[in-house]
Structure 1
Amino acid sequence: MSDSENNDTGPTKAESACFEVGIKFGSLYHQFAGTPVSPESAASLARAMEDAIENQPHCESVTVEMDDDALAAAADGGYTELTGRFMTVKIVVAREDRTVTARMAMDNGYPLMEIESVENR
């Protein structure tokens, strides 16, 4: 059954792939939120986050970019707790014959996670 057909018995392939990317974001955010982070440890924490989430099934890639300026200001020479305001994240999931690209970035003070694209592979 194609994604365009009405399927009352289950999710479409695109919906399943989108669900997978949501699982990855939930895991990433809730596993690492609150982690002590400093400007000196931010890069290694970003790599650890990427590596951890990429271990999950269907995950093609994860990119975590830290906002070094915001982090340095909040840490004020020490450390602070990791929150969404310090990072931008991109996750690509491939499930069945769909590829989903999603992103998390700050939007009006909230770390908004949203789908950028759903493509056929």
Structure 2
Amino acid sequence: MSAETTPTDAEIACFEAGIKFGSLYHQFAGTPLTLESAPSLAAAMEAAIENQPHCRDVAVTVREAELEAELAESAADYTELTGRFLEVELLVDYEGREVVARMEMEGGYPMMRVVSVGREG
């Protein structure tokens, strides 16, 4: 690789954030979800993703109003976890480069994006 094609630390940190979101979303999508299980599932998601390299913090919030509305229309006592029920923010630190990334609903779709890239401290 030449110097101009070698990823920067900031680019690697952004890539790591994407890996965290891919893992979080695809590992947990389809999990049975109720209002009662939402807090423990959010905590499990945070703990699982925080175990990954370079991940310094994860905050998972279940959108309870949307979940409650879904459950009210369901014949079952639970529904399946999808991105429309989640808001997630994570912090990746790679070689002193901090990346904040967020997943939130936009136009009916769970969008995952980099919010900021900076230096540690």
TM superposition score normalised by structure 2: 0.92
Indicate the residue corresponding to 1:13 in structure 2: 9
1:13-52 mapped onto 2 (5 Å cutoff): 13-52=9-48
Give every structure 1 segment of 4 or more consecutive aligned residues whose post-TM-superposition deviation is greater than 4 Å.
Answer: none
Amino acid aligned to 1:105? E
Q: What do the CA deviations read for 1:70-114 (whole angstroms, capped 9, x no partner)?
A: 101112271100001001000100000200000000000110000
Indicate the residue corresponding to 2:82 in structure 1: 83
Indicate the residue corresponding to 1:71 in structure 2: 67
Deviation at 1:9, TM superposition (A): 3.5
- CA–CA separation in structure 2 for the residues paired with 1:107 and 1:25: 16
Q: What do the CA deviations read for 1:22-72 (whole angstroms, capped 9, x no partner)?
A: 000000000001100000100000000000000000000000001111101
Indicate the residue corresponding to 1:56 in structure 2: 52
Identity of aligned residues (%): 59
Amino acid aligned to 1:43? P
How many equivalent residue pairs? 116
Structure 1 unaligned blocks of 5 or more:
1-5
Structure 2 unaligned blocks of 5 or more:
none
Amino acid aligned to 1:72? E
- CA–CA separation in structure 2 for the residues paired with 1:57 and 1:13: 14
Q: What do the CA deviations read for 1:1-38 (whole angstroms, capped 9, x no partner)?
A: xxxxx942410111000000000000000000110000
TM superposition score normalised by structure 1: 0.92
CA root-mean-square deviation: 1.3
